[in-house]
Structures are given as structure tokens and as C-alpha cells.
């Protein structure tokens, strides 16, 4: 069965590495994607790329061989990168949710508040906090029960071939709160506020469309010129517009539900088990490894989920993938085509050519 496990883990590593690298390359090469909000996505994909390149391969070797096959000095370095990259991925998700929240509540002031310099400072703070929660405590030995410098490449079971990071309860509580529970609370709060804002907007648009329909019905009762165009189509158009906006709000709700669900399914079991292990040390090693790989898979799903629900990424990928072009680029309607032709005379032929 080890061959199937090796094939599956290699597939996860390749998917994580290729997905994050291609999306970073897409943002760098496409001018339409080089904006302040996507700076945070680049930081997220970079942390997930480091998980696929630095963290997953030694973890796969541990899983297959059942022991640490690399040099013993690399164990503490690998675990430091493990904690830093996974923490940076979670903190980047928190910063992305805060950025989307600012964009929703104050779209007019967003560019004034979230400048490129502030975005870079937020990214630097994210990586600094992740590094302080990983390299410094592990190097100084603060993660152990006794606060002394010891080699963290062996377990308390005196098995020198193993490389497992057994942490104390204070370190588990502090690190988990800083890198998971507080960011999770911020992510849940911001996404719930975004969802409420989307629903409120949908209700406002629906009420506006109903008022337009009522006004149209009132106008229909008044005498009209027989040569004037009929008005019932206007009421049906307003109802269709309201239904379309309601569907968009429902799609936004499903999107946020998928994002939150995947995040908590991937990381919540690991952090709860990690604190349980720090309290009693009664968690089986195999079960803990499964939960660890489940958390790693969040870095695999991030480059799939986020661009899947972002129209700009669909349009950019549509230049290379025909399937993304069909699903990501909406076909212009006759109304939008007539508006383009009426507003720009010389570009009317070009717009018509693009439509055809």
C-alpha cells in the first residue's frame, strides 16, 4: 500500500506546487491582475508554494519511511519552515478577508485607505508574525516543557530516528491563538459582514425593481398613444433584474460558505488535536499525521477555490484555457451592444466585430 500512498502524496505535492506557481506567474504577467488586492493573493500563493516545495516533501518521506531519513540537523529547520509557512498561509487568508471587507463597506475610500505601501506593510507584518511564532521559539527551545535549548529533532520517547515536534501546552495555546483562533474569528466576522452586505444590496435592488414595476403598471392604466411601444416588457425586465441580483447574492453566500467550510475542515481538527496532544500526549502518531496532511491540503485548495470565484482570474485564464473563456466571460446582450454603439461611434464596428 505504500506505493499508492506515495503516488497520492506526490500528486498532492505536484498539484500544490504547480497551482500556486502558475497563479503567481499569472498575476505577474497580466497587467489587469496587478492591483493592490492581488498583492495579498500573491503572498498567499507564495506561502502555499513554500508549503508544497519545502514542507510537503520531507513530510512525505516521514510518512513513507516511518522515520527521519535526512540529516538530523535539518529536522528543526524543517519544522520551523512547517510552522512558519502554514501560519503565513492562515494569516494571509485573514488579511485577504479584511481587505475584501474594507472594499465592501467603503468602496469609494478603499484606494485611499489601502495603498500599495500599506498593503506591503501588512504582508511584511504577516510574515514577521509567522516567523516569530516558528523560528524563534523552536530555536530557543521555548516549545518544550523545560525552557532550555535542546535538539528538537528527537522525541521524548528517545527515538532518535523520529522527527516529531512535541510542544508544551503554553506554546500550543499561544501559537494556536495567534496563528489560528484569532485569525479564524476575524475571517468569520468579515465574511459574515460581507454576506450581510450582499443580501442587503440584493433586497434594495429587489425593492427598487418592484417600485419600477409598480410605476410601469400605473402608467399602463393611463391612455397612451397607439403608436407608442408597449410597456409590459419593462416590468418583466425589472423582475428579471431582481431575480438575477438575488441569484448573485445566493452565489456569494455559497462562495463564502465553501471558503469558510474548506478552511475550518482543513485546520480546525489539527489545532484542536495539537492542543490535546500537548495536554495528555494521547493522540496516535498516525492519526496526527493524517490531520497534518489535511491542513497541508488547504494550501492545495487555495489556488483552486479563490480564482474559481473571481471574475478577473477567469478572464485572465480565458486567454490560455478555452473552458475558462466560456465560463468566465459573459456574452454581451443586445442592450449593452446598443449602448456601446450609441456612446462610441468609431468603436461601434470594433465592438460588433468582437461580439461576432
Measured at the CA of 104, the angle between CA 103 and CA 106, to 5 degrees, comes to 70
Range among 217-226, 253-262, 291-300 with highest mean pLDDT value: 291-300
- Per-residue pLDDT, 242: 59
Q: Assess if residue 184 is contained within a domain.
A: yes
What confidence tier does 237 reach under pLDDT thresholds 50, 70, 90? Answer: low
What pLDDT score was predicted for residue 219?
56
Please report the pLDDT score of residue 204 as a whole number.
74
pLDDT digits (tens, 9 = 90+) for 70-101: 887 888 899 899 999 999 999 999 999 888 88
Note whether residue 226 is domain-resident: no
Report the pLDDT value the prediction gives residue 168, as an integer from 0 to 100: 84
In SS3 terms, 289-323 reads as HHHHHHHHHHHHHHHHHHHHCCHHHHHHHCCCCHH
What local confidence, expressed as pLDDT, does residue 203 receive? 74
Q: Tell me the mean pLDDT in the region 219-236.
A: 53
Backbone φ, ψ for residue 35 (5° rounding):
-135, 175
What's the pLDDT at 343?
40
CATH number of the domain within which 132 lies: 1.20.1070.10
> What local confidence, expressed as pLDDT, does residue 344 receive?
40
Tens of pLDDT, residue by residue over 124-175, are 999 999 999 888 888 877 776 554 434 444 444 444 577 888 788 888 898 8
Q: What pLDDT sits at residue 324?
A: 61
The pLDDT, as a whole number, for residue 337 is 32
Q: Which domain holds residue 293?
A: 1-143+163-214+241-319
> Please, which pLDDT band fits residue 248 given cuts at 50, 70 and 90?
low
SS3 203: helix
Residue 152 lies in a domain: no
Q: Cβ(354)–Cβ(337) under 8 Å?
A: no
Q: With bands split at pLDDT 50, 70 and 90, how would you rate the model's confidence at 195? A: confident
Residues 6+ positions from 156 with CB-CB distance below 8 Å: 166
**What is the grid cell recorded at 52?**
508544497
Contact 56, 296 (CB under 8 A): yes
> Do the domain assignments include residue 150?
no
- Band of residue 261 on the pLDDT scale cut at 50, 70, 90: confident
pLDDT band per the 50, 70, 90 thresholds, residue 246: low
Residue 278 within a domain: yes
Question: What does the mean pLDDT of the chain come to?
Answer: 77
| pLDDT greater at residue 164 or residue 13 | 13
For 294, phi then psi, to 5°, come to -65, -40
6 found inside a domain = yes
Per the structure, the count of domains in the chain is 1
* pLDDT, position 152: 43
The mean pLDDT value for 256-280 works out to: 88
The CA distance from 94 to 187, in Å, is 5
CA–CA gap between residue 111 and residue 103 (Å, rounded): 9
289-309 burial: b if 16+ Cβ within 10 Å, else e: eebbbebbbbbbbbbebbbbe
Ranges 25-39, 66-80, 99-113, 242-256: which has the least confidence: 242-256
How far apart are the C-alpha atoms of 106 and 99, rounded to whole Å?
11
On whether residue 344 sits in a domain, the answer given is: no
Residue 53 domain-assigned? yes
Q: DSSP letter string over 130-175?
A: HHHTTHHHHHHTTTSSS-S---TTS-TT--TT-------HHHHHHH
Amino acid at each position: 500500500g505504500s506505493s499508492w500512498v506515495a503516488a497520492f502524496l506526490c500528486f498532492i505535492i505536484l498539484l500544490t506546487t504547480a497551482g500556486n506557481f502558475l497563479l503567481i506567474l499569472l498575476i505577474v504577467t497580466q497587467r489587469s491582475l496587478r492591483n493592490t488586492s492581488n498583492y495579498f493573493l500573491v503572498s498567499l500563493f507564495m506561502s502555499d508554494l513554500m508549503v508544497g516545495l519545502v514542507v510537503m516533501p520531507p513530510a512525505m518521506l516521514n510518512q513513507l519511511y516511518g522515520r527521519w531519513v535526512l540529516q538530523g540537523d535539518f529536522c528543526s529547520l524543517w519544522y520551523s519552515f512547517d510552522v512558519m509557512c502554514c501560519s503565513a498561509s492562515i494569516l494571509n487568508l485573514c488579511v485577504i478577508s479584511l481587505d475584501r471587507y474594507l472594499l465592501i463597506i467603503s468602496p469609494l475610500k478603499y484606494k485611499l485607505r489601502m495603498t500599495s505601501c500599506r498593503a506591503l506593510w501588512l504582508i511584511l507584518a504577516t510574515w514577521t508574525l509567522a516567523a516569530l511564532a516558528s523560528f524563534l521559539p523552536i530555536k530557543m527551545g521555548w516549545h518544550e516543557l523545560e525552557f532550555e535549548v535542546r535538539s528538537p529533532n528527537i522525541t521524548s520517547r528517545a527515538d532518535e530516528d523520529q522527527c516529531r515536534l512535541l510542544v508544551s501546552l503554553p506554546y500550543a495555546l499561544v501559537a494556536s491563538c495567534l496563528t489560528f483562533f484569532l485569525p479564524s474569528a476575524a475571517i468569520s466576522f468579515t465574511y459574515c459582514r460581507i454576506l450581510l452586505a450582499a443580501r442587503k444590496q440584493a433586497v434594495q435592488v429587489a425593492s427598487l425593481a418592484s417600485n419600477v414595476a409598480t410605476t410601469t403598471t400605473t402608467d399602463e392604466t393611463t391612455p397612451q398613444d397607439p403608436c407608442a411601444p408597449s410597456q409590459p416588457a419593462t416590468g418583466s425586465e425589472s423582475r428579471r433584474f431582481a431575480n438575477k441580483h438575488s441569484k448573485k447574492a445566493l452565489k456569494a453566500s455559497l462562495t463564502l460558505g465553501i471558503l469558510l467550510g474548506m478552511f475550518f475542515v482543513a485546520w480546525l481538527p489539527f489545532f484542536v488535536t495539537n492542543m490535546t496532544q500537548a495536554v495528555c500526549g494521547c493522540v496516535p502518531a498516525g492519526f496526527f499525521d493524517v490531520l497534518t496532511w489535511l491542513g497541508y491540503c488547504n494550501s492545495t485548495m487555495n489556488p483552486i477555490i479563490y480564482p474559481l470565484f473571481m471574475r478577473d482570474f477567469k478572464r485572465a485564464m480565458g486567454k490560455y484555457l478555452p473552458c475558462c473563456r466560456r465560463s468566465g466571460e459573459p456574452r454581451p446582450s443586445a442592450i449593452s451592444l446598443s449602448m456601446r454603439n450609441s456612446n462610441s461611434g468609431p468603436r461601434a464596428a470594433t465592438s460588433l466585430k468582437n461580439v461576432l
